[in-house]
Amino acid sequence: MGALFFNDDTMREIYEGEGKFQFLFQLPQMICSSVVSGAFGAILHLLALSEDGIIKFKQNKDTNNINKSKISLINSLNIKVILFFIISTIFLFMFWYYLSMSCAIYMNTQIHLIKDTLISFGISLLYPFGIYLLPGIFRIPALSDKRKGSKKNEERKYLYNFSKFLQFL
């Protein structure tokens, strides 16, 4: 994904910097590539993960339509798996083609691209800690406060709802 953010400005900056890697100039591009990669990953996860349908099927109490539900679940799982493999294969070939053409044309920027990719990968490994810790920071005090009183309960309720909102984001 990082190669998509290499443009004329990046090439000019590499040329003017005499080939030196400028971390501060590349940082916004690295963050953007991590976010876009996360968005693509989320879309593919929607297609790949199927536990919601299985849980709904398990909780179905209507025994009359269980065969219909089973067939519907199997069909939807088959469609999701097929779409997942088709879309991921298309993305894989598109990225492979773009990256190979980019590296063939701009041979002197390959080291910059590798550094950019590794740092973007590191950022994508680190930002989930912040995303998942932030709701917990608000939820722990909301759930562990043992003080009595209606005002304290309202504060705990607001903290808990705010943590749910952060988790939703």
At 85-100, the pLDDT tens digits run: 898 899 889 989 988 8
Percentage of the chain beyond pLDDT 70 is 95
What's the mean pLDDT in 137-165? Answer: 75
pLDDT at residue number 35: 80
Mean pLDDT of the chain: 80
CA–CA dist 105, 128 (Å, integer): 35
Torsion sign, CA atoms 160, 163, 168, 169: positive
C-alpha R_g of the chain: 24
With a cut of 70, say whether residue 151 has pLDDT above it: no
C-alpha 161, offset from chain centre: 23
What's the mean pLDDT in 142-161? Answer: 72
Q: CB-side exposure of 57: number of CA atoms within 13 Å?
A: 16
Longest alpha-carbon distance in the chain: 73
Locate 61 and state its tokens: 């109490």
Highest average pLDDT, of 23-27, 31-35, 80-84, comes from 80-84
Q: State pTM to two decimals.
A: 0.60
What's the mean pLDDT in 11-15? Answer: 76
What's the mean pLDDT in 137-141? Answer: 81
